[in-house]
């Protein structure tokens, strides 16, 4: 009955819509001289989206096999389609929040996710700047939904729907915090904060659709104007110079490799492993700091130093 509700069908029908929205945003960016777009950066975003999509296709059979295995051992069979779909969408959004939190708080996962953040531009095509290696493991975070009786096809449909909403939040042209809507749902203002490299904004607003997870778990941060804090800066705390696609994807892996085998080789194996899996910026000697440490310094009147 619901087989038409699948990830591929949704992407097929939503592609023309996003193309139109991107062209409109490009037009207004040009007319207002907002400089939200750069040809090379936009080309990189599109390229990464295509690579991610193709790796998704390659991984689809295996990921559905794993989710299907878990689905066989589901603990609930839903009688109501309404409750079924509420569980699918809300559950998927919550599991995405966990996934996203891990992406930002373990350097190993950050090395994959950083691709989405290392652009200094912010526009709807940034939403397509996919972490290209994520299809290798993303489905693992969604397995609890299969045990809860949500079919694998519908898990990924819910993911795609939520992702479409999140993509639309990658814009500078909606300045309003959208009133009551913004209390429950992620807004462009919320997601601008997420992409900012200002100390106060680091690792905030992890939600894709619902911002309530951030409000509940203490990762919410409202966007503040320049009188309250400072101007938004997009990108990383230390932006990369080499913008070639290979370096954009693998630059953090290179740094991890150098830390493990070159710069920290005199340290114990356990300490070097921490440089792989602890939060970005973690150091055994305080030479670099995590986002939480930097934010503590900021609250105490410290400097706006870098986390990497």
Confidence of residue 305 (pLDDT cuts 50, 70, 90): very low
Say how far apart CA 305 and CA 124 lie, in whole Å.
Answer: 29
- pLDDT for residue 297 is more than 70: yes
User: What per-residue confidence (pLDDT) applies to 302?
Assistant: 55
Model pTM?
0.93
CA distance 211 to 276: 29
Nearest to 219 by CA among 90, 101, 113, 112: 101
Residue in the structure block whose two tokens are 């936009």: 42
Predicted confidence (pLDDT) at residue 303 exceeds the cutoff of 60: no
Residue 308's pLDDT is: 46
* Alpha carbon distance 31, 229 (integer Å): 28
φ and ψ of 220, to 5 deg: -85, 140
Q: How far apart are CA 255 and CA 253, in angstroms?
A: 5
Contact 84, 78 (CB under 8 A): yes
- How far are the Cα atoms of 110, 225, 258 from residue 278, in angstroms, in the given order? 10, 32, 16
| CA–CA distance, 156 with 64 (Å, rounded to integer) | 9
Query: H/E/C letters for each residue in 203-269?
Result: CCCCCCCECHHHHHHCCCCCCCCCCCCCCCCECCCCCCCCCCHHHHHHHHHHHHHHHHHHHCCCCCH
Q: Which of 53, 144, 157, 50 is nearest to 97 (CA)?
A: 144
Tens-digit pLDDT profile for residues 31-88: 999 999 999 999 999 999 999 999 999 999 999 999 999 999 999 999 999 999 999 9
């Amino acid at each position: 009955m619901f087989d038409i509700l699948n990830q591929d069908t949704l992407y097929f029908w939503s592609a023309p819509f996003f193309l139109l929205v991107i062209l409109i945003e490009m037009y207004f960016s040009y007319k207002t001289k907002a400089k939200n777009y750069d040809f090379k950066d936009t080309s990189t975003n599109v390229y990464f989206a295509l690579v991610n999509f193709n790796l998704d296709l390659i991984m689809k059979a295996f990921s559905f096999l794993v989710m299907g295995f878990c689905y066989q051992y589901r603990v609930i069979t839903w009688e109501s389609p309404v409750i079924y779909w509420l569980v699918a969408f809300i559950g998927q959004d919550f599991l995405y929040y966990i996934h996203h939190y891990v992406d930002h708080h373990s350097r190993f996962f950050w090395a994959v996710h950083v691709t989405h953040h290392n652009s200094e531009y912010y526009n709807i095509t940034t939403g397509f700047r996919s972490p290209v290696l994520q299809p290798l493991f993303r489905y693992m975070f969604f397995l609890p939904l299969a045990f809860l009786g949500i079919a694998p096809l519908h898990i990924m449909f819910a993911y795609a729907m939520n992702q479409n909403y999140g993509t639309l939040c990658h814009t500078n042209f909606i300045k309003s915090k959208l009133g009551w809507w913004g209390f429950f749902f992620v807004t462009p203002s919320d997601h601008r904060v997420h992409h900012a490299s200002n100390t106060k904004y680091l690792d905030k607003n992890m939600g894709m659709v619902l911002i309530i997870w951030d409000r509940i778990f203490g990762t919410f941060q409202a966007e503040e104007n320049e009188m309250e804090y400072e101007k938004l800066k997009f990108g990383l705390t230390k932006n990369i110079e080499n913008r070639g696609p290979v370096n954009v994807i693998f630059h953090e892996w290179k740094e991890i490799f150098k830390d493990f085998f070159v710069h920290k080789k005199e340290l114990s194996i356990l300490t070097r492993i921490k440089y792989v899996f602890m939060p970005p910026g973690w150091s055994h000697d305080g030479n670099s700091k995590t986002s939480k440490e930097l934010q503590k310094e900021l609250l105490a009147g410290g400097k706006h130093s870098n986390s990497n």
